[in-house]
Structure 1
């Protein structure tokens, strides 16, 4: 594998497992120094040990704690070149049954935390002359979904935040894009993932399968690379063709 990120310093949130862990592995395999941020302390340490990175426990609902964790990670890395805002939570509830507190909880992790981490990282990037931010939205942020109004709305907000961030940070040499994964086989949503649902979801893709964490990690790595130097403010579908808008 190439070493196109040799010497680059990368912070990945929600990297203890699933897509985030695979993103951390991809950057490390391509030469980057990676900080793993997650509330799952043991799993985060395992991933960090595997890739030769550092682990930082953080509950992204805690604004002050999030700022402190990102600052600590950046300090240990000696700076930051890439921020990947991957962390997210999924909740299911019918629209009329969603508790406003649960709505706020989903937005706190899925959207507000990205504002907080971006504010910390972007200030360092501005002083350094540039950087890259990649946010994780979802197919749900474009297409919605039954029983996922809070999740879908939070992910649609990520797309809007990405575009606004790209506009404001571009003059400082900072590119901001987001990925919109479709159905990816991870721990998230595993409790409701029946064989029948897997078959139905797979049939929605012209490729006839669900996504794998590696599929998303590859796109994130591309967006963070110099090959994407003229891309910013975009929301890239990683859905196997399930949606194309």
Structure 2
């Protein structure tokens, strides 16, 4: 009986994120909301970015602790003003980048402006935010960075060239960062996510997924939580497939 209690306590300790601060890049769609919910339940304080309803080119920085949530400020994406607010943030332990932009267009139909805007969201914003936050993690000599990618980086997805190219670049950035930041005890990993159902998905699409179901936001949040805890303390530089077995490497 005592052995069982000890084991239960060990598991709770490994999943306990109290005193940890998580920064989620885009926390206002289904996956981001589930990540915030799960990490909050694990005891973490959460900073997160979300789109402003007033302006497509602005982000809102928000803060959540326990049941409380409030806005810190709104920032334009086209300049770096939204970076300034976190300069006073003295602690960030876990970074989860969940930002993405998709065009759904063939290469001949993507305008140069759409290409630049997509790369800005998928690569430039995470790059700028990481540059701002990583010095905090280096000083702490501990941290975890998770960039959420897509199986489109492997198989091209539905042919969205911008999306596939930027996610491939994100995965390469993960590998380089894991080498650079490893000496500071900062782990960098990625989640390569399979299909999340939308209006275009049909039942016949399930035949290509061995588990016979689409991914859910909870599947992705659970994997992110695992990579953020001491249970994944020796995992770095990896891109873990969360796709129900569809992409077999």
Identify which of 143, 146, 151 aligns with 1:134: 146
- Residue 40 (structure 2) aligned to one of 24, 28, 35: 28
Which residue in 2 is equivalent to 1:124? 136
Number of residues of Structure 1 aligned to a counterpart in Structure 2: 233
CA deviation string 1:160-183 (max 9, x = no partner): 011111111111111100111111
Q: Distance in 2 between matches of 1:236 and 1:167?
A: 17
| TM-score, with structure 1 as normaliser | 0.86
**1:17 and 2:43 are equivalent in the alignment:** no
Change (3 A) 1:11 1:235: same
> Offset at 1:48?
4.2
Q: Which runs of 5+ in 1 are unaligned?
A: none
Equivalent residues in 2 for 1:124-203, closer than 5 Å: 124-185=136-197, 190=198, 193-194=199-200, 197-203=201-207
Partner of 2:216: 212
Indicate if the aligned counterparts of 2:152 and 2:158 stay in contact, CA closer than 8 A: no
Query: Which of 96, 101, 106 is residue 89 of structure 1 equivalent to?
Result: 101
Going from structure 1 to structure 2, the CA distance change for 1:163 and 1:56 (only over 3 Å counts) comes to: farther
Specify the alignment match of 1:62 in structure 2. Answer: 78
1:63 and 1:124 map into 2 onto residues whose CA distance is 22
Larger radius of gyration between Structure 1 and Structure 2: 2
* Counterpart position of 1:244: 248
Q: Is the 8 A contact 1:14 1:20 kept in 2?
A: yes
Rounded Cα–Cα distance in structure 2 between residues aligned with 1:46 and 1:68: 14
User: Helix, strand or coil for the counterpart of 1:11?
Assistant: strand
**Preserved CA contact (<8 Å) 2:153 2:165:** yes
| Structure 1 residues 40 and 203: alpha-carbon distance in aligned structure 2, compared to 1, 3 A threshold | farther
- TM-score for the superposition, normalised by structure 2: 0.84
Q: Answer with 87-96 or 62-71: which moved more.
A: 62-71
Is 1:113 equivalent to 2:125 in the alignment? yes
Unaligned runs of 5+ in 2: 1-10
Query: Do the aligned residues in 2 keep the contact of 1:181 with 1:237 (CA within 8 Å)?
Result: yes
Distance 1:7 1:52 in 2: 16
Q: Tell me what 1:38 maps to.
A: 50
Q: How far apart, in 2, do the equivalents of 1:60 and 1:155 lie?
A: 23
Structure 1 CA distance for aligned equivalents of residues 32 and 101 of structure 2 = 12
Closer/same/farther in 2, CA of residues 178 and 63 from structure 1, 3 Å limit: farther
Q: Identify the residue that residue 8 of structure 2 maps to in structure 1.
A: none
| 1:225 equivalent in alignment to 2:237 | no
More helix by share: 1
